Amino acid sequence: MTGLPFSRNERKLLLCLLRFYREFGPGATPALKGLDEEAGIERWEMPEAVSGLRARGLIEYWELQPAVRLTPGGLEIVLRFSEEGNA
């Protein structure tokens, strides 16, 4: 499903979304505004990380908010990252 390795920013974003998932539950849908700081990503790097993860089907994206949420496949992948210590 994922194909290519993940960029540093994609990993950071996935791990940040995992923190939201754990704190707020599966419906956690953080707004993109401020998510760059939460994830430790530069604002200008966010669109590339979001589009890369969207293309792989690992996150859902809502344009009107704009906001993102892990998909079941994204949760599976990021849980492997956290278990392997590959953050």
Q: Are 14 and 77 in contact (CB under 8 A)?
A: yes
pLDDT band at 28 (very low <50, low <70, confident <90, very high): confident
The whole model's pTM is what? 0.87
Q: Are 21 and 76 in contact (CB under 8 A)?
A: no
Q: What angle do CA 10, 78, 84 make, to 5 degrees?
A: 110
- The burial class, CB within 10 Å (0-12 / 13-18 / 19+), for 34 is exposed
Where do the structural domains in the chain lie, given as residue ranges? Answer: 8-82
Q: Residue 70's pLDDT is what?
A: 95
Under CATH, which number does the domain 8-82 receive?
Answer: 1.10.10.10
User: How confident is the model over 42-68, as a mean pLDDT?
Assistant: 93
pLDDT digits (tens, 9 = 90+) for 3-16: 568 999 999 999 99
